[in-house]
Structure 1
């Protein structure tokens, strides 16, 4: 079962899974607009799903189980972006983003877990982001949502291991999808001029220029994600793309470099018994 299966990585994961003779539930807000090659595939089940609608989540999962008997793999792909300096983002915009990227993922996961626990197996594949391990200027709230996805996935891996259920967070870099289109990413309603020529607005300008010019190939990325998800043992984290690998290495090195001078003093904060 793949949420957000109408386009981008979700659609390409669906295509490679169907080509591998999997049974695939393609969950999308408007399944009637799914491309014909997946919508009419004999192994496909188009399902109407808005992950912000908890009632519809339960109905969609029930529909999938009725058709296929179980949900063996859930790919939590539904999500969208929000760009802008934190000061420019309203509470309503931030909460709306979390409703999709975080609470949509939580509620869809909750809905499939009873059947997975009953089966004693299952895989959860959460589509996070490179921005889920490195906060970057101009994407603070989006990063926060993807940091949440990473934390949830890590915790689930430990919580669900006794039931034979695995959890993995996929952390793609920039891929040539529709993610930077206005239909997928929201820009600030009003820009604060003081941020012009600073890193936050440089990101906004980059997003406009980079749309559909990103380095990552979604077809290759989806094939890689499917290949890993089909293995016996899921990794805890799966960076996808050279930029994701490079930034993870840079952040790991930075954390170690900044921790080293303070390591001894930090350890010394432990309580010392005087008696």
Structure 2
């Protein structure tokens, strides 16, 4: 059986060296693109080899893929757990704040 598990943000696992400027010299930045492509270039330079995910430990993907009941969403590394916990806290608070209104929108159940 083939199944698909979407990977959620977290634990950036780069196995390719993104420091392309070392081999050909510094990349020329075009002023018009400094706020878009220039920011991405700067981010790549700053995070190269500093990502929180360990590519060797990411081999856990194989175990997850072979599981009889794989998770709906794949989360790897501590930062992904932190993001999910933060999202759950927001959703829990929103639901608590609007619980009465949310429940009032359904059909009346009669026995």
Shorter-chain TM-score: which interval? Answer: 0.5 to 0.7
Name the count of aligned residue pairs: 95
Does the alignment pair 1:213 with 2:50?
A: yes
Contact in 1 for aligned 2:13/2:53 (Cα 8 Å)? yes
Does the alignment pair 1:174 with 2:53?
A: no
CA RMSD of aligned residues (A): 3.1
Distance 1:208 1:173 in 2: 17
Contact in 2 for aligned 1:174/1:243 (Cα 8 Å)? no
Does the alignment pair 1:249 with 2:72?
A: no
For structure 2, the 5+ residue unaligned runs are: 21-31
Contact in 1 for aligned 2:8/2:74 (Cα 8 Å)? no
Q: TM-score with structure 2 length normalisation?
A: 0.64
Distance 1:238 1:264 in 2: 33
Distance 1:208 1:245 in 2: 25
Q: Secondary structure at the match of 2:75?
A: strand
Higher relative contact order (CA 8 A, sep 6+): 2
Contact in 1 for aligned 2:13/2:54 (Cα 8 Å)? yes
For structure 1, the 5+ residue unaligned runs are: 1-121, 131-171, 183-188, 193-200
Distance 1:269 1:234 in 2: 34
- Cα distance per residue 1:151-192 (max 9 Å; x no partner): xxxxxxxxxxxxxxxxxxxxx52223339678xxxxxx8337
* Residue equivalent to 2:70: 234
